[in-house]
Chain A
Amino acid sequence: MELASRDVISRAEQTEIDEGRGVDGNVLLDLRHLGAEKILDRLHGTRELSMVFAGVDPIREPIPVRPGAHYHMGGVDTDVWGKTNVEGLYAAGECACVSVHGANRLGGNALMETITYGKRAGRHAAEWALANTTIEIPESTEQDAERDLKALLDRSDGERPWRIRDELARTMHENFGVFRREDQMERQGEIVAGLRERYQQIVVEDKGQLFNSDLTQALELEFLLELAECMVVCGIARKESRGAHARPQDYPDRDDANYMKHTMVSWENGEPRLDWKPVTVTKWQPQERTY
């Protein structure tokens, strides 16, 4: 079980916590059987994190753990060279989705994105940059962005963004976390819409031009809200359980006949537009996952 994939572990942990067998909202991860030597040798980073953040030395005590958002299987759609559908724009790493991981990325596979696709995207982007000089951006796009930015900075009264951000985080964890239920996802859609409404009246306190992270964090919050809405729409539409998308109550099984396809979503006219892309199966045939 300990070496199963992350979604399996997350469900196991969350079930224990939900059914009242947790300890202060956690389950305990016991590494003591590995011995001090091996922990110091191989799990140095894990030990450091445990000691700093939980005040627990895994050589002597079990580590309190619980599911958290570690990685998002989706991202900016790219080809195997990191190219997006915007001319000259490349994506690699956690923000990108080359679609090699499917519905759940296995532990240790971050290297494929950083090393392999990072190198490919970097090389391709450099070649593109050497071969091209400028790309035309419609004047209206630039004007719209400047207008929005000015409106945000000119507002002197309103809600500070942090409460919206914290509420988004808490409710996404509750309603769109390890287990997903139709009614909770529907509810989360309404919550996100309400938060987006509130976002229209936020106030940025830092009006300066210098390292204005108050402004960048506010802009990021808008993206978070839009992404959350996209995720909810996609989650409701996928009526099956696959990888980290688990719907044990209404659609507990994987449904290859209807859903072995990529979920594509784009932001159009202020709302998500859902689309699908077929999966190309070559050498490796999909199989049921067993442990």
Chain B
Amino acid sequence: MTEAALNVEARTMRVPIKIWRYDSATGERALKEYVVDAPEWVTLLDVLDIIKDQQDGSLSYRKSCRMMICGSCGMRMDGAAVLACKTRMYDIVQSGHVPVISAMGNLPIVKDLVVDMQPFWDKFHAVKPWLQPGYEEPPDGKEYIVSQERMNPIHKESLCINCGCCVSECNAMESDPEFLGPQALAKAFRFVGDPRDQSDVDRLEDLNSEHGIWECTRCYFCTERCPKGVDPRDSIAKLGAESVKEGIDRDLGAKHAKWFVTSAKTTGWLRETELVPKTQGIVSAIKETRFAMTLALKGKVPPPVPPHVAQDVEESRKLYDLVHEQGRDGAAGIVQGERGIARMEYLHETSGEEPPDADG
């Protein structure tokens, strides 16, 4: 029920908004402006509802729960993906800005703000988003217990509501529409990181194929626009780390990442001149020789021989061994979590004040 239906008195405001209308049957496209009077507490979704009810019944968009859990109302506001139900309008109206609403990117538009989610679901399905425990169900009346601590590493991935906001913003998918994309890969890590799942290596093999994890350009747009704090780029980084740890390193991306580690371990710094042969192979490297020579002559890179060894290289080696001993050379080495983010958000919002302790 809407608050309007409850007759709760609220101050109203005038909300101007522009919407890109589109009809895939006729190919007609038009930017239309609407102005509605709405209570100050409205979200973008409420505004769309008012337009559809009272001004133009033909406006199409998806919606269901209205509370950030169903993932239906992903769309773009001023070119960036948002959940309509999560976007409060008050500050935007106060600023005088007239937002432009359009359908999500990287997916074909059906009508107005409705996109065809089929390519999204195909990729979602491709990562086998179900548990493959590899053990039998326990005998009657028994259950297996998994601790909260062991489930924590995939907590934020479990928050994904399949809204498509990350996919909408993905730059890699714009150049390679076949790229599995941030949502499917975050979901993949939700299972690779699940202590109960026994198919990690098979999953990683699949994810290392063409259009897999190494296609990501690390633009962080998915992380920036995710309305639930899933941070898909972090999940992709963890899948990469797990792949290398499992010895799945046939991709250039994996070789590139591995060389950074080897280089830091052996000389304590990044040997850029060896990066190309180590990543792309010797033939590619020879083709780049002239370019490398020019760089060296201009002093942009140091000459490859003799390799410069950092004075405190032992420190770097110790660090490597420590991480290895602790078993943190895979996903566990990437420290980023929901709690950390929530705490940072809190500090940010309260301008540095620490959260109050329990019991006041």
| Chain A positions near chain B (C-beta within 8 angstroms) | 24-25, 32-38, 40-41, 44, 48-49, 52-53, 57, 59-60, 68-69, 160-162, 166-167, 169-170, 173, 204-206, 208-214
Contacts and interface: CB of A to CB of B under 8 A. Distances in A.
A202 to B, nearest CB: 11
B126 to A, nearest CB: 21
B4 A166 contact: yes
Nearest to A161: B53
Given A166-B4, A210-B23, A210-B110, A40 B57 contact: no
B2 interface: yes
Q: Main SS of chain A's interface residues?
A: helix
Given A170-B1, A170-B6, A214-B52, A160 B360 contact: no
A208 to B, nearest CB: 7
Given A162-B53, A162-B54, A206-B58, A38 B355 contact: no
B171 to A, nearest CB: 27
B358 A210 contact: no
Interface stretch (B262-270, B276-284, B338-346): B338-346
B7 A170 contact: yes
B357 A40 contact: no
B355 A173 contact: no
Contacts of B338: 44
A167 B7 CA distance: 10
A114 to B, nearest CB: 13
21 contacts: A25-B6, A35-B356, A37-B355, A40-B346, A44-B338, A52-B88, A59-B356, A68-B1, A162-B53, A166-B2, A166-B4, A170-B1, A170-B7, A205-B58, A206-B57, A206-B58, A210-B24, A211-B60, A211-B110, A213-B52, A214-B57
Contact of A160 (B53, B86, B88): B53
A36 B8 contact: no
Nearest 10 pairs of A and B residues by beta carbon: A35-B358, A36-B355, A205-B57, A162-B53, A214-B57, A206-B58, A169-B1, A169-B5, A170-B5, A166-B5
Interface in B58-102: 58, 60-61, 67-68, 86, 88
Contact of B111 (A36, A173, A211): A211
A71 B54 CA distance: 29
A218 to B, nearest CB: 9
Nearest to A69: B1
B156 to A, nearest CB: 10
B67 A38 contact: no
A52 B68 contact: yes
B101 to A, nearest CB: 16
Contacts of A59: 346, 355-356
Nearest to B50: A162
Contacts of A209: 25
B239 interface: no
A34 B359 CA distance: 7
Contacts of A206: 57-58, 60
Interface in B302-360: 338-339, 342-343, 346, 349, 355-360
B165 interface: no
Interface in B4-51: 4-8, 23-25, 41
A34 B355 CA distance: 12
B68 A49 contact: yes
A177 to B, nearest CB: 10
A37 B86 CA distance: 24
Given A35-B357, A52-B68, A52-B86, A173 B6 contact: yes
Contacts of B112: 211
A33 B359 contact: yes
A170 B5 CA distance: 5
Nearest to A47: B342
Given A160-B54, A173-B6, A205-B56, A33 B358 contact: yes
Contacts of B226: none
Given A44-B342, A166-B5, A208-B23, 15 more contacts: A25-B6, A32-B360, A38-B358, A40-B342, A59-B356, A160-B54, A170-B7, A173-B6, A206-B58, A206-B60, A208-B111, A210-B60, A210-B111, A211-B110, A212-B60
Given A40-B342, A213-B60, A53 B53 contact: no
B357 A160 contact: no
A49 B67 CA distance: 7
A68 B3 CA distance: 11
